[in-house]
Structure 1
Amino acid sequence: MMGEKILLALDFDHTVIDENSDLFVIRLAPNGELPQKIKGFYSDNGWIEYMGEIFKFLHIHGVKPDNFKECLSSIPLTLGMEELFAFIKGSDKFETVIISDSNSIFIDTILERFGLKDTVTQVFTNPAMFDQNGLLTIQYYHTQDWCSLSTVNLCKGHILQEFIKERKQKGVTFSTVIYIGDGSNDLCPGLSLSQQDYLCPRVGFSLWRKVNKLMKEDEKTKSLKARIYPWESGSDIVGLIKNISP
């Protein structure tokens, strides 16, 4: 039986990187603008379909795989994230997963750009690929009907808990799970955490607002069991890890 580790689970957009990668590539459109008919595809539960239409539009206007790569490579890491990944790199105390509603092409491109692929144990996101004509296509990670907090294509809490369960079956247990995110869809995995874990909402973003609201109401419901650790920089997370790691 292997020893216990610390699991770092991170969102990607506005967490690892300081942009929304899906929206960032819109600058590849003519004049950086989408036509109104494509904007009409947007809905909270139809993000994959919306992005599919954007990718078709960009393809029609001559955007090639290398154009995506060049565009994505200009996105900066969030402040302090380079320090965080450098701190955990090569250590067998940690496992690191990314759980994101972006897509595999975008995340792989950016991780490769910053030399982070070897530091991340696994990426859970919507599968994407370029077809034989160079059109970027995207699919649902899964189709779920059990979580009203999540979109139909991605329940982050389910993914996180399944990963923990699978690792346990292989003899790896986690003394602490640190979930780091910013968006509304990061609340679900936060609610799945235990008392020894940490939910880290990025200050000023929607997860932070939701957590603050929930904490005021939580005297009765006790739905949030994890310790709350707001962050502004990846350096804050390094400080947390130093405090809790043996």
Structure 2
Amino acid sequence: MSNIVVVFDFDKTIIDCDSDNWVVDELGFTDLFNHLLPTMPWNSLMDRMMMELHSHGITIQEIENVLHRIPIHHRIIPAIKSAHALGCDLRIVSDANMFYIETILKHLGISECFTEINTNPGYVNQKGRLTILPYHDFNKNSHDCNLCPPNMCKGLIIDRIQNTVSELDNKRFIYLGDGAGDYCPSLRLRERDFVMPRKNYPVWDLICKDPSLVKAEIHGWCDGEELELVLMKLINKITIEENAKFISSDCKLQTLSTPVFETLPKPLSVRQ
């Protein structure tokens, strides 16, 4: 395992669309969704839509079939597999839901690449309908972040991940995202970290307003091909830098551990 933690958003980062909209549109419930959209928070709306799908006889298998058709750039899976093969710790922080993400990752054959998925709970209840809950239960208490939606502050999740990683391990983060919700975690990264905002998407626009607010190095990308290129470049950059530090510290250690007798002047030779 390397010292690199790569954190991916999911919608419009790993996959090339919004999974919530994809399911609603593909199953023919766009009009109802648009009618209800102004009346409730997004996370609550998606749970309501799952109830509507169930009441209209849409099965879990039909939802899974729709998720299996979700669009994804052909270079995303190789990028994820390469980062995993290089020993990176891959995680997901997403405002989608667990059922969607696990279904898609399993279908794509990359579930084992990720050590952790942080998202809204999503599960099939006893009645056979998909239930979606908020990551932060905003009905009980607020996360007090004015940058994030009430159901999820990705910045708090990044804080927790950083806190669970020992400073002694010297972990370095690469964060990839596209949406406004990815701005808050970008602000939590440190100078030794990297953020990869998708160009011309909300998080890119927010960062561009004042890049000085972001401590991490900023590296944009526009599609899956550029994501792979930039991600591999950063992993290679970190690896070279960390190897150089290791070689440098090892040389110092060897210098300090040189036996005393090797540093003493040699005796003068005596002519016979």
The interval holding the TM-score normalised by the smaller chain is 0.7 to 0.9
Q: Percent identity?
A: 30
Question: Are 1:177 and 2:173 matched, yes or no?
Answer: yes
Query: What TM-score results when the alignment is normalised by the length of structure 2?
Result: 0.79
User: Could you tell me which residue of structure 2 aligns to residue 189 of structure 1?
Assistant: 185
Aligned-CA RMSD value: 2.0
User: Could you tell me which residue of structure 2 aligns to residue 130 of structure 1?
Assistant: 124
Query: What TM-score results when the alignment is normalised by the length of structure 1?
Result: 0.87
Give me the whole-angstrom Cα distance separating, in 1, the residues matched to 2:28 and 2:101.
24
User: Could you tell me which residue of structure 2 aligns to residue 141 of structure 1?
Assistant: 135
After TM superposition, the runs of 4+ consecutive aligned structure 1 residues lying more than 3 A away are 28-33
Is the CA contact 1:202–1:230 (under 8 Å) kept in the aligned structure 2? yes
Is the CA contact 1:128–1:138 (under 8 Å) kept in the aligned structure 2? yes
Give me the whole-angstrom Cα distance separating, in 1, the residues matched to 2:74 and 2:28.
30
Q: How does 1:186-225 map to 2 (within 5 A)?
A: 186-215=182-211, 218=212, 223-225=213-215
Report the AA paired with residue 229 of structure 1.
H
Match of 1:87 among 76, 82, 87: 82
User: Could you tell me which residue of structure 1 aligns to residue 99 of structure 2?
Assistant: 105
Report the AA paired with residue 199 of structure 2.
V
User: Could you tell me which residue of structure 1 aligns to residue 163 of structure 2?
Assistant: 165
Structure 2 stretches of 5 or more lacking a match? 241-272
Superposition deviation, residue 229 in structure 1: 0.4
Which structure has the highest helix share of the two?
2
Superposition deviation, residue 89 in structure 1: 2.6
Is the CA contact 1:4–1:172 (under 8 Å) kept in the aligned structure 2? no
Deviations 1:25-55 (A, max 9, x none): 013444753266423434xxx1111111111
Residue 140 of structure 1 aligns to a residue whose secondary structure is coil
Residue 8 of structure 1 aligns to a residue whose secondary structure is strand
Give me the whole-angstrom Cα distance separating, in 2, the residues matched to 1:40 and 1:163.
34
User: Could you tell me which residue of structure 1 aligns to residue 234 of structure 2?
Assistant: 240
Is the CA contact 2:148–2:181 (under 8 Å) kept in the aligned structure 1? yes
Q: How does 1:28-67 map to 2 (within 5 A)?
A: 28-30=26-28, 32-34=30-32, 37-42=35-40, 46-67=41-62
1:149/1:241 Cα in 2 relative to 1: closer, same or farther (>3 Å)? same
User: Could you tell me which residue of structure 1 aligns to residue 16 of structure 2?
Assistant: 18
Q: Report the count of equivalent residues.
A: 232
Moved more, 73-82 or 153-162: 73-82
Structure having greater relative contact order (Cα 8 Å, sep ≥ 6): 1
User: Could you tell me which residue of structure 2 aligns to residue 8 of structure 1?
Assistant: 6
Give me the whole-angstrom Cα distance separating, in 2, the residues matched to 1:228 and 1:35.
36
Give me the whole-angstrom Cα distance separating, in 1, the residues matched to 2:235 and 2:131.
38
Give me the whole-angstrom Cα distance separating, in 2, the residues matched to 1:191 and 1:35.
32
User: Could you tell me which residue of structure 1 aligns to residue 268 of structure 2?
Assistant: none
Report the AA paired with residue 86 of structure 1.
K
Q: Radius of gyration: which is bigger? A: 2
